[in-house]
Amino acid sequence: MSAPLLELKELTKYFPIGGKAKKGFVKAVDGVNLTVHEGETVGIVGESGCGKSTVGRLALKLLESTGGEIRFNGHSIEHMSQRRFRPLRKDMQCVFQDPYASLNPRLSVGQAIAEPLYIQGGLSRKDATTRADELLQLVGLSTQAAKLYPHEFSGGQRQRIAIARAIALKPKLIVADEPVSALDVSIQAQIVNLLGELQEKTRVSYLFISHNLSVVRHISNRVAVMYLGRIVEIGTRDQLFDRPKHPYTQALLSSVPEPQIAARRERILLRGEVPNAANPPSGCPFHPRCPHATDICRTEQPVFREVEPGHSASCHFI
């Protein structure tokens, strides 16, 4: 297999508590290892606050990492200066959860899409405008939309505009951070299908961050499950959804409604709340809520190991 397009090694991000006094740290991301290959979609799932979005922002250098390594297309970028990183920026784009907040209300849609084309893409303003019209048509909007402003569109249409802007520079990687969570179910399907069609045409890779397990299962090739800043299980889509190994993954999947009675899983209810990331538990971070926890879980952190080809998890009892 070819070298990964994106590779995260022991990636960490600690946010200080107490300002300059630094009374402690919130361990938002704590030793994440992840790869994304060309043309692949890797989903990241987990409860709110588990560090999914922070991983995506770190991968794009929208946040500076505390430790670890980020490699993109053969380049180590975590400590790269903005001047050196700028030529790579066009190859790494993002689609945010709230498309209205990510679009400049003072720019028309056409201007918003054309702007990166003449700043980073080297096109004249006239050619950039023409290309913006083509991109709008590619995401299912008419060229007349170029003259309108973000507030004149529905949520689904705004997300299409955000996608058009993200693909304008023909990036190699798009981080899609909860791109459909604010949309109606019918619009969600349209956006997910659009992302799939664009991937077939351009071979773009996606890091798809979501708490919607059904959407992740539909679009992803591999899926990583995060808990308290760590990846606790990763595997292919079928491995993870059909043969989950980690108790947290099993509980997470049991919460997904199944239309067919025969396919329904026994509901696993977790006790307690997610621990404080500023004071994580010793041993396995999941042990305070795990129905199978024993003394070893409370004292020793499990090794993240391969349980079958391409499928890894961190649990003492796998």
* Domain assignment of residue 78, given as a range: 6-91+211-314
Longest CA pairwise span in the chain (Å): 68
The number of distinct structural domains making up the chain is: 1
Q: Would residue 204 count as lying in a domain?
A: no
Mean pLDDT of the 235-247 span:
95
Q: What is the DSSP letter of 20?
A: G
Tens digit of pLDDT for each residue in 51-77? Answer: 999 999 999 999 999 999 999 999 999
Tens digit of pLDDT for each residue in 122-175? Answer: 899 999 999 999 999 988 899 999 999 999 999 889 989 999 999 999 999 999
Burial of residue 121 (number of CB atoms within 10 Å: 0-12, 13-18, 19+): middle
Q: Would residue 289 count as lying in a domain?
A: yes
* Distance (Å, whole) CA 177 – CA 207: 8
Q: Would residue 307 count as lying in a domain?
A: yes
Q: Would residue 250 count as lying in a domain?
A: yes
Q: Would residue 1 count as lying in a domain?
A: no
Residue 256: give its domain's CATH number: 3.40.50.300
Tens digit of pLDDT for each residue in 189-208? Answer: 888 888 999 899 889 999 99
Give the model's pLDDT for residue 307.
94
Mean pLDDT of the 26-39 span:
95
